[in-house]
Amino acid sequence: MLRLEKLVKTYKTGDQALKAVELEVPEGQVLALIGPSGAGKSTLIRCINRLVEPTSGKVYLGDVELTGLSSGALRRERRQMGMIFQEYALVERLTVMENVLSGRLGYVGFWRSFLRRFPQSDVDEAFRLLDRVGLAHMADKRADELSGGQRQRVGICRALIQNPALLLVDEPTASLDPKTSRQIMRLICELCKERGLAAIINIHDVALAQMFVQRVIGLRLGAVEFDGPPTGLTPEVLTAIYGEEDWEATIEAVEEDDTEATS
C-alpha cells in the first residue's frame, strides 16, 4: 500500500538523514520505527507526506507516486495520510472541535472552513470520534485547557477524521507519563485495527513498541538496520541499532509487561 524506493534526504547542511531507504508497508499493517535520536525517524515520516521534501527516491501510496506531484495533487493525497505529532501540535487557541474539524480542511472549501460551517456529516463524525476517545463533553473547550493525554486523543481524532488509509505517527508518547503512553498506544493500535489502517509509528520506547506492533523497523544513521517481528529484537540487534549497552533489562521488562497485559 505504501512503498518507498531508494528514498534519500540530504539536508542543506550536508547531513544525510536518509540513505536510500527501501520499505514496503502492506494494507492494515502497524509498524514501529525505532532508532536513536538523529537516526532519521522523523525525517522519514515527513518525507512520506512531503512536509520535508525528499532529495531523491520515490514514494508510492497505492499507485500514486508522491514525490513528483504538483501542490494541488499533493494536497489531495495528503488527505489520505493522517498524521499524529509529538507534543500533539494542536492549534492551542482553537477549540477542541475546531482542531478535530481541521482534519477535514482538505475536503471543504475556504469559505466554509473560514465561517466554520462544516457539513453536518463532518460535525457528526467529529462528535462520534470524540466520543470514541471519551472527550465528547470537551468539544467546546480550548485545546490549551486539556491535559497531555487528552490533547493527544484530540490529535488522534484530527488524524482519523481525514478518513485516511495510512497513519503517520511521530513519537506519540514522547511527553506522556508511562500509563498514559500505553493508553495512547493501545488506542492508536485499536483504532487502526477497527478501521483497517496501516500505520508507521515513530517511537523511542522500545519496550512500548514491542508491546503493541506486529513489525519493527530499526533505523540507524538513516539506513534500515533491522526489519522483523518484535520478538527478533535481541540484545545483538539492539546493539546494532543503538550501540553497546546492557539490553537484558529492557527485554525482560517487555516480557513482564506482556504477561501483565494479557492477564
Partner 1 sequence: MSDVSVLIGKPWKKPSFIQRPWLRWLLILGFVGYLIVAFSTIEVNWSRVYAGLERGEKFILAFTQPDFTSRSSDIWEGMIESIVMTIASSVVGIAISIPIALGAARNVAPLPVYLICRSIIAISRALQEIIVAILLVAIFGFGPLAGFLTLSFATIGFLAKLLAEDIESMDKVQAEAIKASGAKWTQWINYGVQPQVMPRLIGLSIYRIDINFRESAILGLVGAGGIGATLNTAFDRYEYDTAAAILLIIIVIVMALEYLSGVIRARVQ
Note the residues at the interface with partner 1 (CB under 8 A).
49, 51, 75-79, 81-83, 85-87, 89-94, 98, 102-107, 110, 113-114, 155, 158, 162, 168
- φ/ψ of 191, rounded to 5, equals -65, -35
Q: How far is the CB of 12 from partner 1 (least distance, A)?
A: 15
Whole-angstrom Cα distance, residue 194 to residue 190?
Answer: 6
Question: Which is closer to partner 1, CB of 43 or CB of 162?
Answer: 162
Q: How far is the CB of 15 from partner 1 (least distance, A)?
A: 19
In 40-147, alpha helices (H): 41-48, 71-78, 96-101, 110-114, 120-132
Would you state the cell numbers that stand for residue 143, as one nine-digit string?
485545546
Q: How far is the CB of 216 from partner 1 (least distance, A)?
A: 24
Q: How far is the CB of 151 from partner 1 (least distance, A)?
A: 12
**Complete edge-to-edge strand list for the sheet that includes strand 30-34:** 81-84, 166-170, 198-202, 30-34, 215-220, 223-228
Q: How far is the CB of 124 from partner 1 (least distance, A)?
A: 18
Whole-angstrom Cα distance, residue 33 to residue 157?
Answer: 22
Q: How far is the CB of 259 from partner 1 (least distance, A)?
A: 37
Whole-angstrom Cα distance, residue 198 to residue 24?
Answer: 11
Question: Which is closer to partner 1, CB of 29 or CB of 113?
Answer: 113
Question: Which is closer to partner 1, CB of 168 or CB of 213?
Answer: 168
SS3 call for 30 = strand
Question: Which is closer to partner 1, CB of 170 or CB of 182?
Answer: 170
Question: Which is closer to partner 1, CB of 115 or CB of 243?
Answer: 115
Q: How far is the CB of 92 from partner 1 (least distance, A)?
A: 7
- φ/ψ of 99, rounded to 5, equals -65, -45
In sequence order, the β-bridge partners of residue 210 are none
Whole-angstrom Cα distance, residue 133 to residue 139?
Answer: 12
Question: Which is closer to partner 1, CB of 68 or CB of 229?
Answer: 68
Question: Which is closer to partner 1, CB of 106 or CB of 178?
Answer: 106
- Using only C-alpha atoms, the chain has a radius of gyration, in whole angstroms, of 19
